[in-house]
């Protein structure tokens, strides 16, 4: 998740997606808020333990599902840092050769569409095969959830359920 805020709409979406996940998927949230900013000097010999654990988790994963907000028409710094930590040191990319997909959301009507596309650029470079269709832009998130932090709108819930099935099929292609 590209947002660290406790009440993050992306966190709510991710947690709801975990509840809705198809049986053949085993989605889990990987913490990125504890990763130090990437600095190549720290990677020489004894990298931070959080980096080592993060790299291990993403290397062991069969695919990646990103939930990202839109910050200034792009992705958040914490998400970009996680991509950098996972792709370094040079020649030791932990992301490569696996499927990925992105759900973007925002309080606005276009649902983080620019962040969605901005995230695709570095993921393609680190050799993650990003699902092209269907795309997932979820807007107007301030009114999307009920008191249980679940998607209240039945149409949005059905959309995410169908989208997760498409992601499941995408992962199984690999």
Q: For the whole model, what pTM was predicted?
A: 0.94
Q: Is residue 1 part of a domain?
A: no
What single-letter DSSP state applies at residue 13? H
Q: Is residue 57 part of a domain?
A: yes
Query: Of 145, 100, 135, which is closest to residue 114 (Cα–Cα)?
Result: 135
Number of domains observed in the structure of the chain: 1
Task: For residues 74 and 174, give the distance between their C-alpha atoms in angstroms, rounded to a whole number.
Answer: 28
Domain that holds residue 117: 9-172
Q: What pLDDT, in 10s, does the model give residues 102-117?
A: 999 999 999 999 999 9
Q: Is residue 2 part of a domain?
A: no
Task: For residues 28 and 126, give the distance between their C-alpha atoms in angstroms, rounded to a whole number.
Answer: 21
- Strand-pairing partners, residue 102, are 66
Q: How many helices (H) and strands (E) does the chain have?
A: 5, 4
In this prediction, residues 71-92 reach a mean pLDDT of 96
Q: What pLDDT, in 10s, does the model give residues 11-63?
A: 999 999 999 999 999 999 999 999 999 999 999 889 999 999 999 999 999 99
Q: Is residue 68 part of a domain?
A: yes
Q: What is the CATH number of the domain that holds 40?
A: 3.40.50.360
Task: For residues 172 and 153, give the distance between their C-alpha atoms in angstroms, rounded to a whole number.
Answer: 29
What pLDDT score does 86 carry?
98
């Amino acid at each position: 998740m590209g947002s660290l805020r406790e009440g993050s709409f992306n966190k709510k979406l991710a947690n709801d997606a975990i509840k809705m996940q198809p049986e053949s998927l085993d989605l889990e949230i990987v913490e990125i808020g504890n990763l130090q900013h990437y600095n190549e000097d720290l990677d020489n010999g004894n990298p931070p333990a959080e980096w080592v654990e993060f790299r291990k988790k993403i290397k062991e994963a069969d695919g990646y599902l990103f939930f990202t907000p839109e910050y200034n028409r792009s992705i958040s710094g914490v998400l970009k840092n996680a991509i950098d930590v996972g792709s370094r040191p040079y020649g030791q990319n932990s992301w490569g050769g696996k499927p990925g997909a992105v759900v973007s959301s925002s309080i606005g009507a276009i649902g983080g569409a620019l962040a969605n596309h901005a995230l695709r650029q570095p993921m393609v470079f680190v050799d993650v095969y990003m699902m092209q269709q269907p795309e997932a832009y979820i807007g107007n998130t301030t009114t999307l959830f009920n008191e249980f932090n679940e998607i209240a709108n039945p149409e949005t819930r059905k959309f995410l359920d169908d989208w997760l099935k498409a992601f499941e099929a995408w992962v199984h292609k690999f």
